[in-house]
Amino acid sequence: MCFVCAGNICRSPMAEIVFASLAERAGLSAHVSVASAGTGDWHVGEQADRRTIAALRRRGYDGTAHRARQFEAEWFGGLDLVVALDRSHERILRSWVTAEEDRGKIGLLLGFDSAQERIGDVPDPYYSDDRTFDEVLGMIERACVALFRQLQPAVRQGATQ
């Protein structure tokens, strides 16, 4: 699975780290591959935004190892799920699909959480303050928990086979 936002320094690294933590705590990290990327190449190779790292730290996560990268269309074949953080990323990802079977792999993060799905987009905190980063992380955590609950039975079944 790959979480995708614009530059891969704010929202998508948060989602990657939160989801990976959920898999680890459930004892399923060996059976779940989690990554993140951006639709643009502006920050390739850079650490997550310092405010992302700080927000993650305040919630008990370590985001210091993250390095930004750009999503590549050829990744679709190796992924089961590509999770966009907002509708603009979803549109870009859909425009990069070359095999029709890959179109169904794309979804919006908040679409997996019935309590937040009507919101649609996880707001971009980049031009905001620390409080906004914390709020965005909270939204991402709730949506990742909802997504993990949906995927966990299949992952557990696959782990026992």
pLDDT category, 153, cuts 50, 70, 90? confident
Task: Give me the pLDDT at residue 161, please.
Answer: 58
Q: If you count DSSP H runs as helices and E runs as strands, how many of each does the chain have, helices first? A: 5, 4
pLDDT digits (tens, 9 = 90+) for 43-77: 999 999 999 999 999 999 999 999 999 999 999 99
Residues 6+ apart with CB under 8 A from 19: 1, 3, 32, 34, 144, 147, 148
Which two three-digit tokens encode residue 151?
Answer: 């995927």
Query: Does residue 155 carry a pLDDT above 80?
Result: yes
Task: Give me the pLDDT at residue 160, please.
Answer: 62
Task: Give me the pLDDT at residue 154, please.
Answer: 82
CA distances from 37 to 26, 69, 100, 125, 154 (A): 24, 5, 21, 17, 24
Active site residues: 5, 11, 124
Query: Does residue 159 carry a pLDDT above 70?
Result: no
State the Cα–Cα distance between residues 122 and 46, nearest whole angstrom.
22
Residue written as token pair 């930004």: 68
Largest CA distance in the chain: 46
Q: What is the CATH number of domain 2-160?
A: 3.40.50.2300
Q: pTM value?
A: 0.95
- DSSP conformational letter for 74: G
Residues 6+ apart with CB under 8 A from 100: none
